[in-house]
Amino acid sequence: MAAEAHVDPTRAAFDAFKALPRDVPINMLNLIRYRDVAAYPDGHDHAGKGWSGERAYQEYGKTSGPIFTRVGGHVVWRGAFQTVLTGPADEHWDAAFIAFYPNAGAFLEMVTDPDYRLAVVNRQAAVQTSRLIRFAPLEGDPDSFA
């Protein structure tokens, strides 16, 4: 069964994100599955190089990283996929991480930055499907699930 590809937010999802408070810290869960071969648009500098999706995503990190840092973002957790316990048995992720932003406005500043708009082409070429999920940090007992 072929899974539906999710690479960029839909307009409705982006509007829902923008409607949430912008002045509060957020954590963004990122789950990424790479393409075998990056799919750059014709005419792009990296088109025809035969880069793997993973290599194209590394280029995305290199080119978007300074913007991410400038807006106050940092990675708070990164993990290597091993297996699915609950969920579709054929689901897997090549990269998983949680990015922290000091506020949602910082995330919006990043994704609308002109240099980021150039860098994101690498992400779009790299990704077969992904999930980007916003969470509000919660206070509480770190030893409790509740």
Mean pLDDT of the residues in the chain: 92
**CATH number, span 18-84+91-132:** 3.30.70.100
Which one-letter DSSP state was computed for residue 40? P
For position 73, what pLDDT does the model report?
Answer: 98
The H-or-E segment that residue 27 falls in is: strand 26-34
Distance CA 62, CA 54 (A): 12
For position 77, what pLDDT does the model report?
Answer: 97
Distance CA 19, CA 91 (A): 31
For position 3, what pLDDT does the model report?
Answer: 61
**In the chain, domain spans:** 18-84+91-132
For position 123, what pLDDT does the model report?
Answer: 97
Distance CA 57, CA 128 (A): 11
pTM for this entry:
0.90
pLDDT in tens, 32-65: 999 999 999 887 777 778 899 999 999 999 999 9
Question: Could you tell me if residue 87 is left (phi over 0), alpha (psi between -120 and 50 degrees) or otherwise beta?
Answer: left
Average pLDDT, consecutive stretches of 10 residues, N- to C-terminus, the chain (146 residues): 77 95 97 96 79 96 97 97 91 96 97 97 96 91 73
Distance CA 76, CA 74 (A): 6
